[in-house]
Amino acid sequence: MPIDFKDPAFIANPYPALKELRSYGKPIWHEELGLFLAAKHRDANDVLRNKSLGRIFIPKQPEDDWHDFNWLHSDSILDSEPPKHTRLRSLVAKAFNRNKIESLRPQIEALTDELLNDIEAKIARGENFDIIADYAEPLPVKVIAALLGFPAKDEHLLRPWSQAIVKMYEVGPSVQQQNEAKQAANEFADYVHGLMLERRVNPGTDLITDLARVEEAGEKLNAQELIATCVLLLNAGHEASVNGFGNGMVAAWENPDQWEILKTRPDEVAETAIEEFLRIDAPLHFFDRTATADTEIGGVAIKQGQKIVSLLGSANRDEEVFENADQMDITRDPNPHIGFGAGIHFCLGGPLARLEMGISLPALFKRFPNLEIVGTPVRRPTFSLRGYESIYATNRK
């Protein structure tokens, strides 16, 4: 079936078209894009795990224009495959591991409290607040910036750089978006490079220092790999958290029974609510891989060199896997969604996003027990990375 991934109506609500796509029961060829679409859960999951499929980055041309953008991707974990991926992930995991992430809990709790204080002051002045700009966005940006040792005065640079770069993951980015991505990649790479050089002279307790020191079997990250890793951590470390939080909040507001549960039992349901936020309206929808050898997905032959896309948001609504798949249930358990991907390409920032959301979601409802969304939330006009630009809210007296 033809799907126009740039159609505003599709972007506003892609789920009816994705449901129809799943009804074919197998991956479908998209003539315009020249690739297969894997919409069912089993197929989308297989695309992420199949060892005959690779995440192959094709350098943008001309190389001089795209130089920094190209190596930021080719030298990152996201756009590499074994053995390079294995080496990079192993080195990064030594510095950015679960213990390191869990150690951030007190800092995340303190930052959450600070943001809630600012929101409380805003409400006291009779103003509405933006769930995205005042809460969901600054928290993960501040956390990942502090983790990497970014000066607080420069935090405002990170989100614009990230959003400019990730627009290149959309279907058919415009010339303007391409130019903005190139500029952002150049500026981001130069900035992190400067921090890396400074940490070599003055080591700290931050992750850049740790990444520069980490070594395994005589292997270390080279300068480009270290910078690419930091940029990926900054992007992956907050995009999933911001979009997953915002998407879930709007979905819950549109289901009054779910909103009531969040208001009355925030701590009790936080863990399952977060997973349902990531399932019902996934922050990432479009992840392509290329066949490095002839293979088969869902009974469909994928020839060497052909691309196939894992449609994560569609997979998360597969009726064969999830009961009442189109209905939000923040107590859903088990919840085998693939909102953060799967296999070796499971989102590097996933565990951090879960921790941040696990703290910030119940804290928001406990501080503001009469929380309400006001007006109409404004969506970002993108499909691959799906989220909101603004969600205004208040605490009714």
Measure Cα distances from 224 to 73, 129, 212, 221, 359 in Å: 10, 40, 11, 8, 34
Q: How far apart are CA 108 and CA 17, in angstroms?
A: 38
CATH topology (fold) of 8-395: Cytochrome p450 (1.10.630)
| Range 346-368 average pLDDT | 93
Reference 144, options 391, 357, 356, 363; nearest CA is 356
pLDDT digits (tens, 9 = 90+) for 260-306: 999 999 999 999 999 999 999 999 999 999 999 999 999 999 999 99
Measure Cα distances from 59 to 18, 62, 66, 75, 89 in Å: 30, 9, 8, 11, 21
Peptide bond into 62 cis (omega under 30): yes
Using DSSP's 3-state secondary structure scheme, residue 219 falls into: strand
Q: How far apart are CA 171 and CA 152, in angstroms?
A: 34
Which range, of 83-97, 188-202, 321-335, averages the lowest pLDDT? 83-97
Contact 111, 143 (CB under 8 A): yes
Res 218 pLDDT > 80:
no
Contact 230, 162 (CB under 8 A): no
Q: How far apart are CA 131 and CA 43, in angstroms?
A: 35
What is the per-residue pLDDT for 390? 98
More confident call, 357 vs 159: 357
Ranges of each domain in the chain: 8-395
> In terms of residues, how long is the chain?
397
pLDDT digits (tens, 9 = 90+) for 56-67: 888 898 988 899
Which range, of 23-37, 235-249, 251-265, 379-393, averages the lowest pLDDT? 235-249
Contact 388, 132 (CB under 8 A): yes
What is the per-residue pLDDT for 146? 87
The count of other CB atoms within 10 Å of the CB of residue 305 is 11
What is the per-residue pLDDT for 1? 59
Using DSSP's 3-state secondary structure scheme, residue 103 falls into: coil
Confidence of residue 216 (pLDDT cuts 50, 70, 90): low
Contacts of 162 (CB under 8 A, 6+ apart): 184, 234, 235, 238, 239
Confidence of residue 237 (pLDDT cuts 50, 70, 90): low
Active site residues: 236, 239, 241, 347, 356
pLDDT digits (tens, 9 = 90+) for 75-127: 888 888 888 888 888 888 887 788 888 999 999 999 999 999 999 999 999 99
Confidence of residue 217 (pLDDT cuts 50, 70, 90): low
What is the per-residue pLDDT for 235? 80
Predicted TM-score (pTM) above 0.85: yes
3-state helix, strand, coil in the chain (%, to 5): 55, 10, 35
What is the per-residue pLDDT for 118? 98
Structure tokens at 79: 């756009």
Mean pLDDT of the chain: 92
